[in-house]
Structure 1
Amino acid sequence: MDISRNFYFYSLLTGTLSFLFIFISEFFFNFGIISTYSMTFLFVFLTVMLTALLIFSVLYIKKFDDEKGRIVLGVLIFAGSIFLLFLLINTLVMV
């Protein structure tokens, strides 16, 4: 299997799992099932994971010379931006 096909699959999988973790943890946090410390750890973990994914995609930007690669890179940057916006809002709400 080609490395670019693996990269597309893993980047989309990581982005999808990150958003699922965000929404599930928000649900649990709002109903008091998990604590603020667990929520902070989860956000730090997801931020590191998405940052590593974005760095990985920038390092392999030469492989993104086709239309599909540019779309995936754009989706990753958009997902990272939305995640950081969620992180900022949650940080302001927790304070």
Structure 2
Amino acid sequence: MRTQYWCEECQNFVEEHLVEDGIHDGCGQEVDIYEDEEFQLRDTVEIISTSNPEIHGKIATVLDIKAGIHGKDLRIRTDDGLVVWIDAEDVVLWGEVSK
């Protein structure tokens, strides 16, 4: 289980070191705390989406996480420098894919 901090004001997950006593240092608003087995900032992921063959199978780093009514999107940077937003269902934590 991972603990993640959601800032409603910023509409974003924030890193743990930016939260003190349940308050987001960036905007001063209270954060919601979630126990999550999913992604965190700076996680390494592998792209499993087959909709874009140019990025399928690439390794990337999670830069940003946006959650909304339609699910979770991740802004990632691939090892070769490409930065894109991708549906969280189109990636897996690196090392969890059986090859």
TM-score, scaled to structure 1: 0.23
Higher helix share: 1
Higher strand share: 2
